[in-house]
Amino acid sequence: IRGRAFYFIQKPFDREVLQTLVERCLELRWRRLESRQHVERLERELAEARAFQQGLLPLPDMLIDQLSVSCRYVSCAELGGDLCDYVSIGPGRVALLVADVMGHGVSAAMLTGVVKSAFRASSPDGYEPRAVVHRLWSNMDAFGSERFVTMIAAVVSLEEGRVDYVNAGHPSGMIVGRTRGVSPLPSTGPLVSPAFRDCTWQQRAVAFERGDRLFLYTDGVSDAFAGPDDCGEESLVQLLTQHATDGD
């Protein structure tokens, strides 16, 4: 027993007891084998889901006309619900998306695919931020009411010198200007959920000059900067203001 034996019998032994012990040993062995195969299948599925999620992400760095776009995605778990994407929509114009699906794991990762599809399917609407949010909202009817997404959809236009955006319950984005400091992009409507009917989101426009930076993020970033008396946003503002002043 101390040597990890399943059990032991003594002579003279009972034939029925011996047969029962053998059957129990085989049953335990098959259960261990099934458990190992189940774990291996889950690991394969997680790897496939992670590859799927990584495939949704755009190139980390891109120069589009005179606009430089940089994305960083570092998940704290095997799978997460964060997503970023961007697409060039004309000279000096870029459509951007940063979203956060509630929860973690496979279901959240799969829902990020729906978010990206809604974003990319907004091409006929010119990637108008309000149209992107409404398209995602209409595509979430198949999901339960407990599911929700927070997101910022934006269009940056150098020619018009502005950023059009919709913030659906997401952490406030920030425009960092060399002379204007840090300007927040506060929420313009509720988070996106099939539980909400007849939702409306306001689309706002803010000035964007050459040399300005647009900083969009998910709550994982602010959580990393959070302190005992700070949710992390104040620390982010201080850091961005310092970089704007230093010219980095």
Q: Are 157 and 143 in contact (CB under 8 A)?
A: no
At residue 49, the 3 state secondary structure works out as helix
**pLDDT score of 131:** 94
Question: Backbone phi, then psi, for 4, in 5-degree steps?
Answer: 70, 25
> Quick check: 246 pLDDT over 60?
no
Look up the pTM and report it.
0.78
Using CA atoms, how far apart are residues 131 and 69, in angstroms rounded to an integer?
Answer: 22
pLDDT digits (tens, 9 = 90+) for 5-29: 878 888 888 889 889 989 988 998 8
Q: Are 85 and 74 in contact (CB under 8 A)?
A: no
More confident residue, 101 or 54: 101
More confident residue, 30 or 8: 30
**pLDDT score of 237:** 78
Using CA atoms, how far apart are residues 207 and 90, in angstroms rounded to an integer?
Answer: 19
pLDDT category, 230, cuts 50, 70, 90? low
**Which residues are within 8 A (CB) of 113 and not within 5 positions of it... i.e. 6 or more apart?**
52, 56
pLDDT category, 244, cuts 50, 70, 90? low
At residue 16, the 3 state secondary structure works out as helix
**pLDDT score of 169:** 92
> Quick check: 231 pLDDT over 80?
no
Cα torsion through 213, 62, 51, 167, rounded to 10: 30
**pLDDT score of 162:** 93
pLDDT digits (tens, 9 = 90+) for 77-134: 667 788 899 999 988 899 999 999 887 777 777 788 889 999 999 999 999 999 999 9
Q: Which amino acid appears at position 25 of this protein?
A: C
